[in-house]
Amino acid sequence: MAEFSSVDEQLDRALRSQAARAGVSVDVYVQRAVAERLLRDLQTSDDPESAELVDVLSRIDFGAEAGGLARTGLHPVLDDPARLKVLRDTGLLDSEPEPSYDRIVTMAVEALGVEAAAISLVDDHRQFFKAVLGLPEGVRETTLDRSVCRYAVSLGEPLVVEDARTDPVLHDHPAVTDGTLVSYAGVPLIDPTGHAVGTLCVWDTKPRQWSTGHVQILDDLAHVVSDRVFAAN
């Protein structure tokens, strides 16, 4: 049973990784894969009733948006006025550090055995750290181009990267090329209306194999953060 559990975890990591690289959610990635396979099977079928469906599927460019969200589709999400209002209504942008948030970041570092963690808030031009551990003292924000969390915010789903140096989207990211991070895992902080305002994220300067257990721990802690962030809104 342990062997099957290990395979399941590897498949889950691979699925999440490939979906993130394509810039789509896991559900969309799976739907596209199924549609592509269905098209191939129908094309070799002798069933005349399949012809119309084959014609429809053949006109769909399944790869048209692959990478689109990760590269060019970020800003429609990040610039969304409704999302930005939710973010600003939290009152956390440019706020002072708070022990309750600092403790959660420390818990993430200790639980996952990573070098760094942060509670990040991503607006339309920068990334602000409500709490951070593992960066030089006094660093509370970065420009948007240095944010990896923006990808998780745009996807609205956890983003897991084992080695960003070999990732087709992130390999030339400034935070990767300067050695700030190699591996990354981030879970978006989502309000009750579905808007992601930031992440609880962890990263390391060496490759990491993130298990489903790691992601679950991060997800649980992210829910604690979200409950606190949106409690008064």
Tell me how many degrees the CA angle 125-127-131 measures, rounded to the nearest 5: 160
SS3 at position 190 = strand
Cα-flanking dihedrals φ and ψ of residue 79, to 5°? -90, -5
Residues 153 and 193 in one domain: yes
Angle, vertex CA 116, rays to CA 114 and CA 119, nearest 5: 120
Determine, yes or no, domain membership for 130: yes
pLDDT at 123: 95
Question: Which helix (H) or strand (E) is 197 found in, with range?
Answer: strand 196-204
Domain boundaries, position 34:
2-59
For the record, the structure tokens of 162 come out as 């084992």
93 and 123 within one domain: yes
110 and 22 inside one domain: no
Give the residue among 214, 208, 210, 186 at the shortest CA–CA distance from 199: 186
Q: Tens of pLDDT along 170-179?
A: 999 999 999 9
Residues of the chain with pLDDT under 50: 1-2, 4, 61, 63-73
Query: Cα-Cα-Cα-Cα dihedral of 24, 77, 209, 62, to 10°?
Result: 10
Mark whether 33 and 81 lie in a shared domain. no
Per-residue tokens: 120: 């990040």
Q: Give which of 107, 167, 172, 118 is closest to 145, Cα–Cα.
A: 172
Q: Is residue 79 domain-shared with residue 113, that is, in the same domain?
A: yes
Asked if 148 and 175 touch (Cβ cutoff 8 Å), the reply is yes
Give pLDDT, residue 191: 96
First to last CA, the chain: 45
Residue 66 is assigned to a structural domain of this protein: no
Q: Which DSSP symbol is given to 182?
A: S
pLDDT at 66: 38
- pLDDT score, position 53: 65
Q: Tell whether 16 and 129 lie within a shared domain.
A: no
**Using one digit for the tens of pLDDT, what is the confidence trace for 74-132?**
567 888 999 999 999 999 999 999 999 999 999 999 999 999 999 999 999 999 999 99
Total Cβ atoms within 10 A of residue 140: 15
In this structure, are 9 and 103 located in the same domain?
A: no
- Assess if residue 165 is contained within a domain: yes
Question: What pLDDT was estimated at residue 70?
Answer: 42
Is 129 a member of any domain? yes
In the block, residue with structure tokens 């559900």: 27
Domain-located, residue 159: yes
* Domain boundary, last residue among 34, 59, 84: 59
Q: What share of the chain is helix, strand, coil (3-state, %, to 5)?
A: 50, 15, 35
> Does residue 94 come out as left (phi exceeding 0), alpha (psi in the -120 to 50 range) or beta?
left
DSSP state for residue 161 in the 8-state scheme: E
pTM of the entire structure? 0.71
41, 107: one domain: no
**Whole-number Å distance between alpha carbons of 69 and 25:** 10
**CATH number of the domain where residue 136 is located:** 3.30.450.40
Q: Clarify whether residues 86 and 52 are in a common domain.
A: no
Residue 64 within any structural domain of the chain = no
pLDDT of residue 147: 95
Q: Specify whether 53 is located in the same domain as 156.
A: no
Residue 132 confidence (pLDDT): 98
Domain match, 161 and 52 both: no
